[in-house]
């Protein structure tokens, strides 16, 4: 992932001077300030920052769930800043997968049905059976979320996101609700996604140790990118200690 690669490839998503403000009564709160960032094909980018630093806000903007106050977010020809609501819906549906801390599975659908539901949204999904088997869920397909462990639920949620073959997979503290060993396990799965599916992955965390598994790390503090670094040899998730 050197400079030559960045010249050769076009980026998946480009953020240009992205600022986000929220109105709080009479005051305006600047939550993100002038963020410039490009996401490259097949990279695992870790966004590291303490609680309240703007990580979720950044992810929601990238995913077209929220709008910038100023700046641009370019996905090919589309600028999320000026896109219509219909264009944003299309972008979210076809190009973005989301993984959340608390899984957000549909409780009255089985593991299989949760993934199938997402597969219906696109024309050429991955085969649901294959994917669940690849994710170690072969014997969990007919279970409901409440019958699954946290780690299994998160695997289903990742399958649901990946089945659409999204260009971009956005993971917001995906191991925040899991115990240590399960968290490492799920991170191992996430770490394999760029290579297995060609997806660009953004992994948000407040845990410094987790940053070592990414190809690149950006640090957020009070809504500003204060450092960008590159891991020439990312650590395997199984080697993580925290
Ligand atoms: N919808 C909102 N309205 C007002 N303030 C918000 C809103 N969403 C987030 N914030 C504020 O923006 C800041 C960053 O929040 P967030 O992006 O959730 O940070 P993080 O994910 O890093 O914990 C916090 O101060 C939070 O209170
Ligand atoms: Mg957050």
**Ranges 3-12, 30-39, 101-110: which has the least confidence:** 3-12
pLDDT of residue 2: 46
User: Beta 70-75 vs 78-79: how paired, if at all?
Assistant: antiparallel
Mean pLDDT, the chain, rounded, equals 95
Count, residues in the chain: 242
Residue from 21, 23, 24, 31 to probe ligand 1 pocket by mutation (most atoms less than 8 Å from CB): 31
Ligand nearest to the CA of 67: 1
Ligand nearest to the CA of 28: 1
Only one residue has tokens 């929601």, namely 60
Helix axes 111-119, 150-162, angle to 10 degrees: 20
Q: Which atom, in ligand 1's list, is nearest to the CA of 53?
A: 22
CA distance 102 to 99: 9
pLDDT of residue 103: 96
User: Beta 168-172 vs 96-99: how paired, if at all?
Assistant: parallel
Task: Examine the pLDDT at 6 and tell me if it is beyond 60.
Answer: no
Q: Which atom, in ligand 1's list, is nearest to the CA of 60?
A: 17
Does any ligand 1 atom lie closer than 6 A to the CB of residue 25? no
57-108 confidence digits (pLDDT tens)? 999 999 999 999 999 999 999 999 999 999 999 999 999 999 999 999 999 9
Hey, is 98 helix, strand or coil?
Answer: strand
What six digits make up the tokens of 17? 């001077």
What are the start-end ranges of the E strands in 13-152?
13-24, 27-39, 44-48, 70-75, 78-79, 96-99
Q: Which atom, in ligand 1's list, is nearest to the CA of 59?
A: 17
The DSSP-derived string for 171-235 is EESTTTTS-HHHHHHHHHHHHHHHHHH--EEEEEES-GGGGGGSSEEEEEETTEEEEEEE-SSPP
pLDDT of residue 211: 95
| C-alpha 52 to ligand 2 mean position (Å) | 7
- In this structure, are residues 183 and 213 in contact, taking their beta carbons and an 8 Å threshold? no
Does any ligand 1 atom lie closer than 6 A to the CB of residue 199? no
pTM over 0.85: yes
Q: Which atom, in ligand 1's list, is nearest to the CA of 66?
A: 1
CA distance 50 to 194: 25
What six digits make up the tokens of 231? 């891991």
Once rounded to an integer, what is the mean pLDDT over residues 206-222?
A: 97
Does any ligand 1 atom lie closer than 6 A to the CB of residue 56? yes
pLDDT of residue 9: 64
Superfamily (CATH) of domain 40-67+82-239? P-loop containing nucleotide triphosphate hydrolases (3.40.50.300)
What six digits make up the tokens of 100? 């959340």
Predicted confidence band of residue 1 (pLDDT cuts 50, 70, 90): very low
pLDDT of residue 177: 94
Query: In what helix (H) or strand (E) does residue 94 lie, and over which residues does it extend?
Result: helix 85-95
Residue nearest to atom 3 of ligand 1 (CA): 22
What six digits make up the tokens of 21? 């403000």
Task: Examine the pLDDT at 3 and tell me if it is beyond 90.
Answer: no
Contact residues for 103 (Cβ-Cβ < 8 A; gap 6+): 145, 150, 153, 154, 156, 157, 177
34-50 confidence digits (pLDDT tens)? 999 999 999 999 999 99
| C-alpha 142 to ligand 1 mean position (Å) | 37
Does any ligand 1 atom lie closer than 6 A to the CB of residue 205? no
Where exactly are the structural domains of the chain?
A: 40-67+82-239
């Amino acid at each position: 992932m050197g400079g030559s690669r960045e010249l050769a490839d076009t980026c998946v998503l480009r953020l240009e001077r992205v600022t986000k403000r929220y109105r709080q009564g009479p005051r305006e709160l600047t939550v993100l300030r002038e963020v410039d960032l490009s996401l490259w094909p097949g990279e695992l980018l870790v966004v590291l920052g303490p609680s309240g630093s703007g990580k979720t806000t950044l992810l929601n903007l990238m995913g077209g769930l929220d709008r910038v106050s100023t700046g641009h977010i370019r996905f090919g020809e589309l600028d999320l800043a000026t896109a219509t609501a219909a264009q944003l819906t299309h972008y979210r549906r076809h190009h973005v997968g989301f993984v959340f801390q608390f899984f957000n599975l549909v409780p009255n659908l089985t593991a299989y049905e949760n993934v199938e539901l997402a597969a219906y949204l696109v024309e050429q999904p991955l085969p649901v059976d294959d994917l669940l088997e690849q994710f170690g869920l072969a014997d969990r397909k007919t279970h409901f979320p409440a019958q699954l462990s946290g780690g299994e639920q998160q695997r289903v949620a990742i399958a649901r996101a990946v089945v659409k073959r999204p260009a971009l997979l956005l993971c917001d503290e995906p191991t925040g609700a899991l115990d240590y060993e399960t968290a490492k396990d799920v991170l191992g799965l996430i770490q394999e996604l760029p290579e297995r599916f060609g997806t660009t992955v953004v992994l948000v965390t407040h845990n410094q140790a987790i940053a070592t598994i990414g190809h690149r790390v950006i640090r957020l503090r009070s809504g500003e990118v204060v450092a960008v670094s590159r891991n020439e040899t990312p650590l395997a998730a199984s080697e993580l200690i925290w």
